[in-house]
Amino acid sequence: MCILKTERLELFPWEATEEMAIALYEYARNKEVGPAAGWEPHETPRHSFEIIRDLFIPQGDLAIRFSATGEIIGSIGLMPDKRREDVKSRELGYSLARHMWGKGIMTEAARALINYGFSELKLDVIAIAIHPENERSLSVARKCGFTREGLLRKGCIGYTGDIRDLVIGSITREEWKEKY
């Protein structure tokens, strides 16, 4: 995968290095970041290293770098869509450092990856699954043109073992062509 650049960001593949693990740990340890997306805050840089090595790299997730400072501030990826296995579809997932919330950063990154998904990967649909209480993530999805499909009750198990609902949405290739 190539590096994607936007006005303020660079999206590029994660590498299993100590430097990148520390960068991930710096924002992923915040108790406001992970739980909203359904994952536990990272306990150590080693935990972050394992996430990069075992999850981010195999899925093809991208690091988000804020160009003005060079800081890695988030992660974004197009994961296999478990609900549409026979369709050219991926599911968008993302997380962002707390101090960057409310600046339009994730909407900018998501739009870049959505464009890549439809133009380069030739996807037919991009899905999204968000916990209903995660208003910030729901707002990003709306701004990116996703249509809410419904509520998947008891749709996933959270990191604490609780069963959680998911708001399911998608954007189709045709909608992307109209909106982008």
- Domains of the chain by residue range: 4-179
Residue type for 96, please?
Answer: L
Residue type for 55, please?
Answer: L
28/159 Cα distance (integer angstroms): 14
pLDDT at 1 over 80: no
Least confident interval from 5-9, 35-39, 98-102: 35-39
pLDDT at 91 over 90: yes
25/29 Cα distance (integer angstroms): 6
pLDDT per position as a tens digit, 5-30: 999 999 999 999 999 999 999 999 99
Q: What is the DSSP string of 1-47?
A: -PPEE-SSEEEEE----HHHHHHHHHHHT-TTTHHHHT-PPP-SHHH
pLDDT category, 96, cuts 50, 70, 90?
A: very high
Determine the pLDDT at residue 85.
Answer: 87
pLDDT category, 36, cuts 50, 70, 90?
A: confident
The CATH classification of domain 4-179, taken from the options 3.40.630.30, 3.40.50.1470, 3.40.50.2300, 3.40.1350.10? 3.40.630.30
74/58 Cα distance (integer angstroms): 17
Q: Region 97-109: what's the mean pLDDT?
A: 97
